[in-house]
Amino acid sequence: MPASKNERGIMHNRLEERFYQLQLHGAKALAVFLMGGDPDLETSLKLLRASLEGGADILEIGVPFSDPLADGPVIQKASQRARANQTTIEDIFYLVRELRKEHDAPVVLLSYWNPIYQYGPEQFFQQAKKIGVDGLVIPDLPYEEKRPFRPAAEACGMILIDFMTPLTGEERAHKILQQAAGFIYCVTVSGVTGVRDQLAETLEKSAAIVRNATRVPLLAGFGISSPSQARQAMQWTEGVIVGSALVQEVENHLEKREALPERIREQVRGFRRALDS
């Protein structure tokens, strides 16, 4: 059954609208993660545009941070490269503003809590929404710690994305899912991000817990490394988040940056074809 509009009968967020349209057409969502400012700011913007041209439904842009605990070596190095370029939150906002001149796709920022805290949470939510950000993924802010900030985010129309992991028990999962909006980030492994050969068997169990508690879409992330894995994951989810496989492509072609947009575009097309097949 397609997801309905929100309780007020309106679609005030691009994430909600995109999932509504995808479900109406029986399609799966492809979310693409790239580190903002990697390998440099202007190339980063080209790669984000190329991802949308390749068929991404949602862009997840990483905010560089010195201690990215949830990320594996590939994304850690991307964060280091972006920080070496002195990429700031204002630079990330620049990327979103430029994208909004020509694209209406949902944009989610992935940021650890410290940069948001240093910027000022309410000011960050307000500015992010003003320039066209639709949601935030904050890996190191647990559900309980997120609750005090949720009202301020929601007042700006900003969605705080919640996580499900293989270690999330059913009782706690139901508490999280009662507040969930936008989509649920289903972590497929007990560990950090990275390219993996096989899809974790825990995904089916996590999906069952989610389905019993909410109609909010579920996206699988952390370890979706190939189109075949994306196709497998969509048995249980409304889509996938692809990150490390694309960020690895950036690292592999640092000396040939002019070729990167086309390579990323083609990689994203491969995942798009897998989800549409």
Residues acting as catalytic residues:
60, 71
**What is the chain's alpha carbon radius of gyration, rounded to the nearest angstrom?**
17
> In the numeric block, which tokens belong to residue 211?
């389905």
Rounded CA-CA distance 44/112 in Å is 20
Q: Which amino acid is at 118?
A: Q
- Sort strands 58-62 and 135-137 into parallel, antiparallel or unpaired: unpaired
CA atoms within 13 A on the CB side of 133: 31
Q: CA–CA separation, 24 vs 271, rounded Å?
A: 21
Place of tokens 């028990």: 169
